[in-house]
Amino acid sequence: MASLTLGIHSGYHDACAALYDGYKLVAAVALERLTRRKIDGGRIPVECIDECLTVAGATRKDVGAVVLGRAAFPSRYYTHLSGGRLVEREVRKLIGQEKHKTMEREMVRYARTDSEAMFDAPRFLADFGLPAGIPVRFFNHHLAHALPCLFHTDWNDALLYTADGGGDNVQYSHRVFRDGKLETLYGGDEAFTTPMRIDSLGLAYGYATQALGFKINRHEGKLTGLAALGQPVLADDLARHFRVDDAGHIHSDFASYPDMRRFILAWAEGKKREDVAASVQKVLEDFILESVRKLLARTGVRRLGLSGGVFANVRLNQRLAEELPVDEVFVYPAMSDQGLAAGGVLQYLLERDGLQTWLANRYRFETLYYGRDYGTGIDATFAGDARFTKVSDTPVTAAADLIHAGRIVAIYAKGMEYGPRALGARSIMAAPVDATINQTLNDRLDRSEFMPFAPFVSAENAETVFDLGPVKTYAARFMTITCGVRPGWRERIPATVHVDGTARPQVIERHQNPLYYDVLVAYAERSGIPVLINTSFNVHEEPIINTPAECARALAEKRVDYVVTEQAVWGLAP
């Protein structure tokens, strides 16, 4: 198994690991799913490493290369420290108070770009039981965001655009693929030797999230939902601080990020939260749209790959797809830092093998079931616990009947999903025909959401119900984009339609997940509605469930009425 390459990201949020066998992604897991602490990070995600290897049936001794993000590491691994900083490190080690330091900050501090020369790779490999002498490489944050957008398509040209709160001393990157070449226009390692630009719309959105009393890096989606309920009456006051130059670069006149944060907190104070949300949403959309439009005109390409936390904003993604001259948009499904470990491995493979070999190994995603598949372990968990009873041995028909009768049914099948969306492996299903189900579900899951739940639909019926077209269809497989709901359907599936007439569908095919697909078809046969609700199987402030025990706990707590598996339907015992 020497072909196994392990990617590790130890960022302060969304720490994760991914494992490739050659060019095949075999496992990818975020730390939060294993520790049950939302956006967990700030350390080497040992649990993720071992989970990925377990999925692959491998051990640490089978790893042939390690690729690391420039994130948090114990100070003992840094080789460049000297003088007082070196003395401090040794004293802290002696008293058991060793600090973690980020490679990115260390590179900026010393204006260096040679990560590997600053890191004690032999010690790292020995400490984690990995084979001595294997390659240890570091990846560029934004390149790791961008590369999967190209690798998981079959495009012959593309603009790869990334945007987030920041990474490797930049907040955006622009890369173009054309004529068999991949060129970085902005956002490479050269940024480590230059002052950080104060230009992040992602952080502006995060500060607005804080201004409304929500948590940054966690609750930005609440603003996306609130935005449709307000008016962008405050947008001009924020927009005047940003501009886009002729090359498509976004700039601001804020002197620092604390300065930006102070302004946004004051800007939002005392205002209607819906109007604040609508205003910051408009600023984000307008400036990203202008930036991308200029880059498309400059490069002449027709495909658009998007990644980074900013593109968790599904309404922004819709505008980009519908208002720009592109043939297809693909939003990398693990667009947050949860996707960096996988993207980092793709950077390593590109540098090792060259672009032509790399391109020859590309493939489109079919599913994102890259967590552990517990198989019949879920049924054994229910069968061995007196709190539960088997409702039916015919899971498809029974689940469809229950959903049609207004019950809430979770599905537990296949491996846990990679990325932030539940996509039929750890999902909750319900009928979309009564909008009151939104409040019912939110109450049972302790949530306060401002958007309807997402629908899922078969590929055969997708265009009948939703306005997708070839530009948005691939992105819609992973619920990363909104689209219009066609007239005549908005009234039939009100639980999934937002006030602006849009929805965020998941388009599925049977071979991806037969149980999920067949329940949908069986429900459509009973109701005439080819759509079901899909919301993630978790309660507020907890990650999506992973193990059978977590599933059983949710059923015992009556978060759902039933759970359907590939073997049976389970409910609470009388």
Residue 2 is predicted with a pLDDT of 57
The CATH topology of domain 377-572 is: DHBP synthase (3.90.870)
How do residues 321-340 score in pLDDT, each as one tens digit? 999 999 999 999 999 999 99
153-331 is classed CATH 3.90.1150.10: no
Terminal-to-terminal C-alpha distance of the chain: 50
Is the pLDDT reported for residue 1 higher than 70?
A: no
How do residues 300-329 score in pLDDT, each as one tens digit? 999 999 999 999 999 999 999 999 999 999
Is the pLDDT reported for residue 113 higher than 80?
A: yes
Q: What is the mean pLDDT of residues 515-541?
A: 97
Q: Token digits for 306?
A: 């998007």
SS3 label, residue 191: helix
Distances from the Cα of 423 to the Cα of 168, 310, 368, 530, angstroms:
31, 20, 8, 17
* Fold match, 153-331 / 377-572: no
- Calpha distance 307→316 (Å, rounded): 12
Number of Cβ within 10 Å of residue 131's Cβ equals 15
The confidence band for 451, taking pLDDT boundaries of 50, 70 and 90, is: confident
How do residues 207-251 score in pLDDT, each as one tens digit? 999 999 999 999 999 999 999 999 999 999 999 999 999 999 999
- Calpha distance 231→367 (Å, rounded): 37
List phi, psi (to 5°) of 269.
Answer: -60, 130
4-139 is classed CATH 2.60.40: no
- Calpha distance 24→4 (Å, rounded): 9
Give the start-to-end residue ranges of the domains of the chain.
4-139, 153-331, 377-572
Q: What is the layout of strands, in order, in the sheet containing 63-69?
A: 24-30, 16-21, 4-9, 63-69, 136-139
Alpha helix (H) ranges present in 273-394?
Answer: 273-299, 314-323, 340-353, 355-360, 377-383
User: Model-level pTM?
Assistant: 0.97
Quickly list DSSP for 237-252.
HHHTTEEE-TTS-EEE
How do residues 162-202 score in pLDDT, each as one tens digit? 999 999 999 999 999 999 999 999 999 999 999 999 999 99
